[in-house]
Structure 1
Amino acid sequence: MSNTKIKQLLTELTLEEKAMLCTGKDFWNLHGIERLDLPSIMVTDGPHGLRKQAGEGDHVGLNAAVKATCFPTASGLAASWNTKLIEEMGKALGKECRTEDVSVLLGPGTNIKRNPLGGRNFEYFSEDPLLAGDMSAAWIKGVQSQGVGTSLKHFAVNNHEHCRMTVDAIVDQRTLREIYLPAFERAVQQTQPWTVMCSYNKVNGTYAAEHKQLLDDILVKEWGFEGIIVTDWGANNDRVEGVKNGQHLEMPSSGDMNTKKIIAAVENGQLTMAELDKSVARVLELILKSQVSLESNKVTADLTAHHELAARIAEETCVLLKNDGLLPVAVGKKVAVIGALANNTRYQGAGSSKINPFKLEQPLDEIKKQFGPDNVTYTAGYHLNDAEDSAEITKAVELAKQADVVFLFAGLTPKYESEGFDRQHLNLPQVQLDLIAALGEQLSKTVVVLQNGAPVVLPFVEKVPAVLEAYLGGQAGASAVAKVLSGEVNPSGKLAETFRQI
């Protein structure tokens, strides 16, 4: 955008308007200035789909959102190692944002997975900074090609949920530079995301939202970041210190509380007008860039085509952890599908990235399509609420005895992994482990299909001939699994994080 235009706007804005522009209007919208033809723009959650809430906003996925395409989560996307495909996904996300007049999609999640128990690991790409950076850059490039901004998050050193609002991450400079920052650096320098979102935590004693080294020295001056730095929702600590140290926008709205603090700081000399104008200028540039898309021709996303894309992506996220020759299974075999997750699939994470899919496949349905309904039997085997049920286990064992092959669906429910808390262990739910143990001799013809956002311990791995990691495959993940099991699709995914055999 023209520097002349922004300089002109800065001369026309009052102090009150400048202070107001540095905080949200409400939960998802920024302030506009009607008299200067500056629209209020909307930002909303991603990263694996559009979570535009039609009613009251929240940042933990409680309230319903508009229908959208739910793509696989980042842990699965990274296993594809396919940046071109991720860029294509980004373009689809951008089109859905344009359809709903959303100006910035809050993603991608680029944090490095340093803690395997991190409750939000499903939302991040990898332990590896190079892969995480390249996947993030592809995602951003795709979204922003549609005239929609992104928000690279959460900057920085944010890798677990426990006490995330207050924890102080102590890290030496070499580790910071070699592990935690390179993925962000690659994404910024390759794509220039419209925004970067700072994390809740402290880094070496200072909150990330007012961390001069991270925000101003490294991100802006060293890496040349040109966009705005926005807080994670509720991550602001000291609003004036944030402005002074490179934080441009506080989200969500804090009413007029922090607006008044900024005004008072300028009036008493604690904050100079030049310091405030640095933040305001960047917010203005974001609004002006967004205005171009808002005022251009309306875009209507093809959700059916996006579902097909989600299926193609899910196919490439499947990782074959083990196969001693049982897979692929020929059509015509008698198949026993066991596991409640086969008929109530876990396809996405829980929390602020929770998408309302316009269409959702179930593994049992897709397996019936692939192998023929007359060849497939099913029982739950366990309860998703972890209630013990010996009768259901007995039923599962009898069903397995009558089948040529067993597809056993296991994985983690939202009780075990979600934004807001960390996992307590790496185990599968005990009811699932009890079922697997009870199958005994039938394990020799069993394929374990995993639906989980992060690694789990596999104590039974020596007893089963095949294990397929399907991750959280999005709304079309079920057909991808069915095609992999039948051999129609090659499970080409490769792990982007550590699984350890115990």
Structure 2
Amino acid sequence: MARTSDKRDAELVGLVNGATAEAAEALVSKLTLREKASLCSGASFWNLQSIKRLGLTGPNVSDGPHGVRRDLGSSHLGLDGSAPATCFPCACTLASSWDPTLAMLVGEALGRECLALGVSVLLGPGVNIKRHPLCGRNFEYFSEDPLLAGEFAASFVKGVQSQGVGTSIKHFAANNQEANRMTIDTQVDERTLREIYLPAFEAAVTRSQPWTVMCAYNRLNGQQCSEHDWLNNTLLRGEWGFEGLLLTDWGAIANRVKGLLAGIDLEMPSSAGVNDARIAAAVRSGALEEGVLDRAAARVVSLYLKSDAAKAAHASKEEGKEMHARHHALARRAAAESAVLLKNDGQLLPLGAGSGRVALIGGFATAPRYQGSGSSKVNSHTLDRPLDALRAAVEGGALVYAAGYEPGHAALDDALIDEAVAAASGADAAIILAGAPAERRRTEGGGAMDRLIAAVAAAQPRCVVVLSNGSPVLETYLSGQAGALALADLLFGAAC
């Protein structure tokens, strides 16, 4: 028997597909020049323009790629407090599962949370290739491998959009570093673009048709991505057959009229009417054909129609607590399936419930490193602590804790190291929670953490090291709000 949720998902897809381009074009034909121009930029930081006389209500868009960050404020950065949501493992973590179906399930869950929070388009996933280890948003991207990134991007998009919620694959294109990302000119020959930097975008577009694509801040071979005719019109729409809306990253527009000619339908956020006036003036002067504006406005209106269809199908928001519980369980499963066992000398893992006295070492035990920061940061409705999860997993609760270090402090305190060594030497096994900080400017710099690990390992040969980054070594990456429970499952055999 089909699940009720499966039936609802199918109904949502049917309703969304019913929002035809013809219906959008019919509505656009009723708009004035000023109204059409206004649709080409946002009304605020997170909402699109409304045309009340035609019943068009601007939908809401929201970050982020591993959890819905429905902003509750109105700061120009859009980084005010956000509504509680599930923080799933980051893209770098999910890709380490090598299971695209898992990405689809996470996408479906994110789509359901978007509906519950009134979000029409989720601004993700990020599918840029990991080119350099110091890129500050590598945790948001799936892989340095184009094939793997494309498989996960296509599955993630399909999952979210099965719920009647749009996605926005980003950042198009060749936006592979954060340093000077708004001004850099990325120089790449076409073969390299097609073999490395574009395949993940192509896979998502051709296999899953995301509702939107987000253009990048940078220049590509001397031309702004927001004005790049070959990239946006020839390749994305012409060669790949993209049918959706092309929008800017926030503030990425350079010349609004040139952007329209290059296929940019929507500028985000609001330009306070400045660029709307420039568009209208260009049409009146003959510098811009009105048909170009009509096409862009129709794509925007089509997004409104899809959003309205999904909202009509989502009749109730009463499943909040039940939904969060289900999604927390999925986050736990995803974290466990995505962890990577890098080394297991002597087959120490899994420890098993009867492992005797266990020393847990590391400040991440009480302040877990479970997600990145910036625009993707999620206000998780629940957060499991490794200290609590591992204490529950150890038979009889025979677990002793020593901080070893303070999260966020580059230098280590000798007294904390001594305390950690004492705890480890008096135990039957030691677990060290280590990893990289949220911000760093050099690839090296782990020497202080290495010193702690070496000291503890010398005192306790039965030593497990668990890394949280974006004698066995276990890499858990940034594993989301349920990462602690997944860690306990992994270390004590429940996930094996």
TM-score (norm 1): 0.91
Q: Please report how far the alpha carbon of residue 276 of structure 1 lies from its aligned counterpart in structure 2 after TM superposition.
A: 1.1
Alpha-carbon separation, structure 2, partners of 1:476 and 1:7: 45
Partner in structure 1 of residue 367 of structure 2: 344
The answer on whether the counterparts of 1:99 and 1:298 sit within 8 Å (CA) in structure 2 is no
Task: Please tell me whether residue 403 in structure 1 is matched to residue 399 in structure 2.
Answer: no
Partner of 1:312: 333
How far 1:254 sits from its partner (Å)? 1.4
1:72-108, Cα deviation, whole Å (9 max, x unpaired):
0000000011111211111111111111111000101
Whether the 8 Å contact between 2:457 and 2:463 is mirrored in structure 1 is no
Partner of 1:394: 418
Q: How many positions carry a matched residue from both structures?
A: 471
Of 319, 330, 352, 1:330 maps to 352
2:70 maps to 52
The partner residue of 2:171 within 144, 151, 154 is 154
Deviating more after overlay: 304-313 vs 287-296: 287-296
* Corresponding residue for residue 22 of structure 1: 40
**How many Å apart are 1:298 and its aligned residue?**
2.4
Bigger mean CA deviation after superposition, 342-351 or 286-295: 286-295
* Consecutive unaligned residues in structure 1, runs of 5 or more: 417-422, 454-464, 491-502
**Partner AA of 1:9 in structure 2:** L
1:45-124 mapped onto 2 (5 Å cutoff): 45-57=63-75, 59=77, 62-124=79-141
CA distance in 2, matches of 1:449, 1:18: 54
Cα distance in 2, alignment partners of residues 480 and 445 from structure 1: 21
Task: Decide whether the 8 Å contact of 2:115 with 2:314 is kept in 1.
Answer: no
One-letter code of the match for 2:349? L
More helix by share: 2
Q: Is the Cα contact below 8 Å between 1:95 and 1:299 reproduced in 2? A: no
Aligned residue number for residue 404 of structure 2: 381
> Is contact 2:24-2:305 (8 Å) kept?
no
Superposed CA deviations along residues 465-497 of structure 1, whole A, max 9, x for unmatched, are 21000111100011111111111112xxxxxxx
Aligned residues with identical type, % of pairs: 51
Q: Which moved more, 1:318-327 or 1:443-452?
A: 443-452
Preserved CA contact (<8 Å) 2:60 2:119: yes
Q: Is the 8 A contact 1:29 1:42 kept in 2?
A: yes
Task: Give the TM-score normalised by the residue count of structure 2.
Answer: 0.93
Where 1:154 maps in the other structure, the secondary structure is strand
Q: Give 2:7's aligned residue.
A: none
CA–CA distance in structure 1, aligned partners of residues 419 and 460 of structure 2 = 15
Shift of 1:294: 2.0
Secondary structure at 1:236's aligned position in 2?
coil
Distance 1:84 1:451, change over 3 A: same
Secondary structure at the aligned position of 2:401 is classed as strand
5+ long unaligned stretches in structure 2: 1-18
Structure 2: distance between partners of 1:281 and 1:272: 15
Query: Retained in 1: the 8 A contact 2:425–2:460?
Result: no
User: Are residues 1:37 and 2:61 paired?
Assistant: no
Hey, what does 1:483 align to over in structure 2?
489
Q: CA deviation at 1:12?
A: 1.0
| RMSD across aligned positions (CA) | 1.4
Give the 3-state SS of the residue equivalent to 1:68 in structure 2. coil
Aligned residue for 1:8? 26
- Please tell me whether the aligned partners of residues 117 and 426 of structure 1 are also in contact (alpha carbons under 8 angstroms): no
The equivalent residue for 1:470 is 476
Provide the rounded CA distance (Å) in 2 between the counterparts of 1:57 and 1:191: 33
Q: Which amino acid aligns with 2:227?
A: E
Q: Secondary structure at the match of 1:314?
A: helix
Instruction: Measure, in 2, the Cα distance between the counterparts of 1:392 and 1:103.
Output: 48
Q: Report deviation, 1:277.
A: 1.2
State the shift of 1:384 in Å.
1.5
Amino acid at match of 1:377: V
1:451 counterpart residue number: 468
**Larger RCO, structure (CA 8 Å, separation 6 or more):** 1
Aligned partner of residue 122 in structure 2, secondary structure:
strand
Aligned twin of 2:188: 171
**Is the partner of 2:257 in helix, strand or coil?**
helix
| Per-residue deviation, 1:388 | 3.4
- 1:211 to partner: Cα distance: 0.8
- Secondary structure in 2 aligned to 1:444? coil
Assess if the C-alpha contact under 8 Å between 1:383 and 1:431 holds in 2.
Answer: no
Counterpart residue identity of residue 166, structure 1: T
